[in-house]
Amino acid sequence: MRRTLTDGDFGTEFWQQLATYQHTAWRWENQAVYEITAEQASVDAFLAGHPSDPMEDPYLAPWMRQVAEQTAAGKVIGRVRVLEEPPTDYQRWERWLDTWNTAAGEHIEYLTRTQARQLAEHSPFGKADWWLFDNARVMIMNFDANGRRIQVELTDEPEDVAAAIEFQRCAATATTGSKAAGEDSAHAAR
């Protein structure tokens, strides 16, 4: 079944999916920027040259703790992020956060927009970001041009899940051998 989540349902449903997945959680992250009010103070501090400790941030710290709990239990969580060339300020901030995300156990790979262009054309959910949980459920997140989340759907429809699994396989192949390019982009972002 494919269902649209309300804004109020999204947070609850996402954290439930994250807390209850059994094996793998994987995200395709395709936006150049995300407009998330709770992140803005951290982004602004980073851009001003005075980054704050994300483990003391009331929005970021719960994410890091949840990832650490899941990976300590033997579960896998990862994502592929598409980086603009040059990276946006938001993406530079995300790269800075990687130290804490990866310390918590998250696997993060990068593709530049050029590297990802052909792959992204075959995304089963268009320009949306999405999470694949346990190769069984997909949470599709649509954004406007400013990075505001405008619609979220949760699906376990076999054709949606199969398309997400195949796309994830292709993305993993695309990041193999391109990590050096992603790392170069990361250093340029700093």
Domain span at 184 = 2-189
Pairing relation of β-strands 149-155 and 137-143?
antiparallel
Average pLDDT over residues 73-77: 98
Mean pLDDT over 64-75 rounds to: 97
Confidence (pLDDT) at 186:
40
Q: What is the mean pLDDT of the chain?
A: 92
What is the 8-class DSSP label of residue 86? S
pLDDT digits (tens, 9 = 90+) for 30-47: 999 999 999 999 999 999
Mean pLDDT to the nearest integer, 56-69: 96
Number of domains into which the chain is organized:
1
Give the pLDDT score at 7. Answer: 83
How many Cα atoms are found within 13 Å in the side-chain-facing hemisphere of 140?
A: 20
CA-to-CA distance for 161 and 157, rounded, in angstroms?
Answer: 6
**CATH number reported for the structural domain that contains residue 31 in this entry:** 3.30.870.10
Q: What does the pLDDT read at residue 95?
A: 97
Q: How confident is the model at residue 72 (pLDDT cuts 50, 70, 90)?
A: very high
The pLDDT of residue 147 is above 90: yes
**pLDDT at residue 25 greater than cutoff 80:** yes
Residue type for position 181: A
> What is the rounded CA–CA span in Å between residue 108 and residue 26?
10
Is the pLDDT score of 56 beyond 50?
yes
Q: What is the DSSP letter of 145?
A: T
Beta 149-155 vs 2-5: how paired, if at all?
antiparallel
- Considering only CA atoms, give the Rg of the chain: 16
Mean pLDDT (whole number) for 133-159: 97
Measured CA to CA, the distance from residue 19 to residue 13 in angstroms comes to: 10
- Identify the band that residue 156 occupies on the pLDDT scale cut at 50, 70 and 90: very high
CA distances in angstroms from 65 to 29, 55, 61, 62, 108, listed in the order given: 21, 9, 6, 5, 16
Cβ neighbours for 11, distance < 8 A, ≥ 6 positions apart:
none
User: What mean pLDDT is predicted for residues 147-174?
Assistant: 96
